[in-house]
Structure 1
Amino acid sequence: VMVSHSSGDIPTPEGRAIVETLRRDLVLPGTTIHSGVAYRHLLVWENGPLAAETIPPHDVLDQNMASYLDPERKDPVAAVIRRSWDILKQHPVNLERRGRGLKEANSIWLWGQGKALRIPRFRDKYGLEGGVISAVDLLRGIGVYAGLTPISVEGATGYLDTNYAGKAREAVTALRDLDFMFVHVEAPDEASHNGNIREKLQAIEAFDQKVVGPVLRGLEEFPDYRVMVASDHFTPISIKTHASDPAPFAWAAKGELASGKRGAAFTEASAKASGLYFEKGCDLMPSFLGRA
């Protein structure tokens, strides 16, 4: 059963200790395991099974995965997952977590396979030099492919205890040399996958108080700016996974924010009522930057 997609929100030091053991003991020719943050890590598999069936773990929470992991399927990805069980069963990290009554990292889970992308560089498309801040390597990686400068923030965890203030501070500082900053906060999404309304409210409030507010105040040092807040996708608590509803966004320029007029609340309902809609997500940025 997929009890947790994140090993109970395992912290980065414990996750990396698990990865170090897997790197040593999970002997798989042509593979390299790279440490990431918390439960997110990367396995590079040369000439690996790109066509293999993989399942995002957050899509199957509380579901029985026996049929997917059945050895009779002869699936190479499922075989690697099964091999990890004996390696991790008595791992010191898991023994310690077991003693504290915490969920264990008792299995790896491979998913989201693909090859390196070729995408236009941000500066070539928009004439702007940009940076990216995110604790999630997927977002950092997309940014790197687009030519954005990855900026690390100490204490960024991808969860509720992330360094919100540090992200805001580093973003404003970076804009003294760059033209554009993309700042990603994962905490509300993780709370949704956990089905925890209290944590989701906490994450949204922290984002508003510790990221949006400080960034807006910090931007006042610049003669002009444009700022946008957006959700990358829906993750309803009721289903604990992603949904395909249009993601809400809001943007404003410096003069508009200085007007002092109170706008509508930033909610899914108000975003829908605005009538501003992009069928393709890739059309959002050109419009935001006035390049549509």
Structure 2
Amino acid sequence: MITTEMYVQWSLQYHLFWLRILKEHAIFIEATMPPPGKSLALAADAYKQNYDLFLITAIGLANGVIPNEVLQSGQYYTQFTEVAEQIAQQYTGININTEITISEYDIEPLSAPFNVTSNMEQEISLLNQNILSLTGSFVQFQSQLLNNRSSCGIFTLMYTGDILHILLEAKRYQMILSALEDKDEEAIENYKTFWTHNMADHAKVMRGQFDPTETAYFNRANMFSNLFDTLYGEEMDPATYPSDATLLKSTSDIRDFKADTTEAIIQCDVQSIMLPLYTDHLLREANHFIFLMQ
């Protein structure tokens, strides 16, 4: 069982990461939906708006609760996030509230042990329950989207594999929140296989979205795809399970590749069909994996 202090702190740490991730999933669904899928795009936008509201609430509750090293870990925002959001709004016409990102810069870090009041615990529990409800609905929406896409019932510019990927991430958030509500200390365990597989997925999608002329970037993405596929395969057997140092080094390397790609897209130094918000999103996920390992 986790303590009440751990329950509050872990809930908010995960919310600051996952709420942004899922709201961006909604943005990417909306941005890649052709006109015949307008109703699906509007539904995705509604999820984005609801996740925004919960993220604003989480930011307000996080003041004085989360250690500074966590806030500065690059999993909540990076040096690219704000401008990447502005570019995404410019290119897609989707309204993106950059003020939320700006407000995260000023979250007051934990400076001393804090005491959880019964009111704070109740606020966190209510927030967790509300997010679980929204995410359950979002999981159903993405599941239906995946079924329609894989059966050729609809067309979208998002890969079928990418829809599956974001669906599994939403389910991961559900699992973490459910464990936290049960005060289960296993809420943050068993993450390495999940995130190793995710790093492989990221590399494959990036590989497929660079312009065909970008041979160097394509080859680097392909290399990371092969690397993380190998690491994931090794994780299936205790006898070959990679060391923490190997996982950390490999994830740091793909993190640097994602940062380089994001900056290059922002500067128009590389041609692709990726928004810089998308590659910044992948960068934050790599930073989250690194944070969990350290």
TM range (shorter): under 0.3
Larger Rg: 1
TM-score, structure 1 as length reference: 0.26
TM-score, structure 2 as length reference: 0.26
1 or 2, which has the higher helix percentage? 2
1 or 2, which has the higher strand percentage? 1
Of structures 1 and 2, the one scoring higher in RCO (CA 8 A, sep 6+) is 2
